[in-house]
Amino acid sequence: QITSLVRRAALTQNDNHFNYEKAHNFKVHTFRGPHWCEYCANFMWGLIAQGVRCSDCGLNVHKQCSKYVPNDCQPDLKRIKRVYCCDLTTLVKAHNSQRPMVVDSCIREIEARGLKSEGLYRVSGFTEHIEDVKMAFDRDGDKADISASIYPDINIIAGALKLYFRDLPIPVITYDTYSKFIEAAKISNPDERLEAIHEVLMLLPAAHYETLRYLMIHLKKVTLHEKENFMNAENLGIVFGPTLMRPPEDSTLATLNDMRYQKLIVQILIENEDVLF
């Protein structure tokens, strides 16, 4: 519990600058004209593929030096071409935001006018309208207009939020932590299970943790209107389990075997969000 409090304090004390760590995304690069390494300041020799460039922030270094560069990538918005399908930490660092703005915008809209909507998150909106919302975020970022005057059906906004999570190259519950969450879900003693889930949560990258925390607070609010929307924590677990976590190897069998545990993890996160985060 103490670790959660420390993390929460760290996230709130510095609201306009979020010091999430991010590794550089280096790709081999051929430089035109003479180039110097921005890490060791020595010349990059050769005619082609003299070094590597970070495709998120543009840092140029020797291939050897890239192993020693700290995880201090500060992505440049000019290089980030879209919002959907973009690495979560990369996106929040590029926009200097606490969470992906898609998550904030959609949740704000849903809480303003959709919490009592029957089958919220279970009922699908029109696919082409959801694609429209996706394109609006990719094009306009946090200026995207998703108000009721343009999208009166709240299920379109809910669908766009789920699609954002499904499109992430690394899911909110990361591939690295996936098997640990599944193992935690299999523990039969409820208290021990909660403790194990809390420990795995602490292994998530900070931006992923914060996004998951915010989403769970929202989904808890959804369950408070269960009489109207018929969505309890278990129903939401069924919807969000496979949306928030995917097995590292793309195996249908693994996915089918794990589905009830994915559902259970999300259900537990919603029901215990005040304790776990």
Q: How does the average pLDDT of the chain come out, rounded?
A: 90
Q: How confident is the model at residue 17 (pLDDT cuts 50, 70, 90)?
A: very low
Q: How confident is the model at residue 39 (pLDDT cuts 50, 70, 90)?
A: confident
> Phi and psi for 61 in degrees, rounded to 5?
-145, 165
Q: Give yes or no for residue 78 having a pLDDT over 70.
A: yes
Q: How confident is the model at residue 3 (pLDDT cuts 50, 70, 90)?
A: low
- Coil, strand or helix: which one is 266? helix
How far apart, in whole angstroms, are the C-alpha atoms of residue 45 and residue 42?
A: 9
Q: Give yes or no for residue 138 having a pLDDT over 80.
A: yes
In the chain, where do the E strands start and end? 26-29, 51-54, 60-61
Q: Give yes or no for residue 143 having a pLDDT over 60.
A: yes
- Coil, strand or helix: which one is 44? coil
- Tell me: the pLDDT tens digits for 101-124? 999 999 999 999 999 999 999 999
pLDDT at 219: 98
> For residues 153 and 39, which has the higher predicted lDDT (pLDDT)?
153
Q: Indicate the domain borders of the chain.
A: 101-275
What is the rounded average pLDDT of the residues 89-102? 91
What is the rounded average pLDDT of the residues 82-102? 92
**Paired sense of beta strands 51-54 and 60-61, if any:** antiparallel
Query: What region, left, alpha or beta, does residue 188 occupy, with left being phi > 0 and alpha being psi -120 to 50 degrees?
Result: alpha
> Phi and psi for 149 in degrees, rounded to 5?
-65, -25
Name the residue with tokens 């009166």: 152
- Coil, strand or helix: which one is 90? helix
DSSP string, 42-62: -B--SSS--EEEETTT--EE-
Q: How confident is the model at residue 254 (pLDDT cuts 50, 70, 90)?
A: confident
How far apart, in whole angstroms, are the C-alpha atoms of residue 226 and residue 45?
A: 65
How far apart, in whole angstroms, are the C-alpha atoms of residue 155 and residue 102?
A: 15
How far apart, in whole angstroms, are the C-alpha atoms of residue 180 and residue 193?
A: 11
In the 8-state DSSP scheme, what is residue 230? -
- Residue 232 structure tokens: 């309890």
> What is the CATH code of the structural domain delimited by 101-275?
1.10.555.10
- Residue 235 structure tokens: 């129903």
Q: Give yes or no for residue 8 having a pLDDT over 80.
A: no
> For residues 18 and 55, which has the higher predicted lDDT (pLDDT)?
55
Q: How confident is the model at residue 18 (pLDDT cuts 50, 70, 90)?
A: low
Q: In degrees to the nearest 10, what's the CA dihedral of 224, 230, 234, 239?
A: -110
- Residue 228 structure tokens: 């109207």
As a whole number of Å, the CA-based R_g of the chain is 21
Least confident of 18-32, 120-134, 161-175, 224-238: 18-32
- Using DSSP, how many helices (H) and how many strands (E) does the chain show? 12, 3
96 to 1, 79, 84, 93, 207: CA distances (angstroms): 27, 14, 17, 5, 11
pLDDT at 14: 46
Q: How confident is the model at residue 132 (pLDDT cuts 50, 70, 90)?
A: very high
Name the residue with tokens 């003693």: 189
Q: Give yes or no for residue 201 having a pLDDT over 60.
A: yes
Angle between helices 233-244 and 206-223 (to 10 degrees): 150
